[in-house]
Amino acid sequence: MKNTLLNAVDIHKSFGTLKVLKGIDITVYESEIVAIMGKSGSGKSTLLQILGTLDNSDKGTVEIDKVEITTLKSQEIARFRNDKIGFIFQFHHLLNEFTALENVLIPAYIGQTNSKLTNDKAKELLDYLGLSERLDHKPGQLSGGEQQRVAVARALINDPLLVFADEPSGNLDQESSDELHNLFIKLKHDLNQSFVIVTHNQELGSLSDRTLYMQDGNFI
Ligand SMILES: Nc1ncnc2c1ncn2[C@@H]1O[C@H](COP(=O)(O)OP(=O)(O)O)[C@@H](O)[C@H]1O
Ligand SMILES: [Mg+2]
């Protein structure tokens, strides 16, 4: 039986009178790619934010790595998130004033890990992602696909237990999009990396191990 990385039970979330999540259950195992699909406005991003500890649910529990998130104080959550969770968004959210290498290093500095080791590791990661010639480029000097791969390296620098991605290929052309999807598969095989990916992309849906469809506040 595979290790359970995340177990969320009976997640509810409303914004005012709008009930967005109505009792979601989800379990994610190690070395697994889970795709979450569903219409725009169905609550995918809301769910991902809650699973990723960026937002609170109104009701329900989220356990990551056997830790129930609501038992942590807010500083502990920030630390936990930086250690255990990587994020990739539709828009890369790289810092424009910093180079590719510096952007990848930011979560490592926050975690106060040894700088020589992390510097080497960031270079290794960028090399693995085909960006060894782009270390000193700023985001504005990179293509959309390259920017997103830097964001992947940033998500991976602290060896996260789990990576959450919200429409990561939503802003990419077909070729870069395929490249990114293949990269997720490769990371799963090479590093046993687990992902929870919100996507509208059918191909990514079919490449994933499991696809969950959201509708009316629940999975169908
Ligand atoms: N912070 C918020 N305040 C009020 N309404 C929100 C907020 N975030 C999301 N919503 C609403 O919740 C619903 C689900 O949004 P979202 O989770 O972003 O959907 P999806 O990612 O599936 O497109 C939408 O109707 C959206 O307008
Ligand atoms: Mg969304």
- Report the separation in Å between the CA atom of 124 and the middle of ligand 2, taken as the mean of its atom positions: 32
Q: Ligand 1: does its nearest atom lie under 6 Å from the Cβ of 199?
A: no
Domain membership flag for residue 15: no
CATH number at residue 210: 3.40.50.300
What's residue 92's pLDDT? 82
Residue 22 lies in a domain: no
Cα(116) to ligand 1 centroid in Å equals 41
pLDDT in tens, 126-185: 999 999 999 999 999 999 999 999 999 999 999 999 999 999 999 999 999 999 999 999
What strands, in cross-sheet order, belong to the sheet with 85-88? 85-88, 162-166, 194-198, 33-38, 210-215, 218-219
SS3 155: helix
Give the alpha-carbon dihedral of 192, 3, 36, 45, to 10 degrees.
Answer: -100
Per-residue exposure over 203-219, b if at least 16 CB sit within 10 Å of its own CB, e if not:
ebbebbeebbebeebbe
Q: Where in the sequence is the domain holding 195, given as residue range(s)?
A: 31-56+73-219
Q: What's the number of domains the chain is made of? A: 1
Is residue 107 situated within a structural domain? Answer: yes
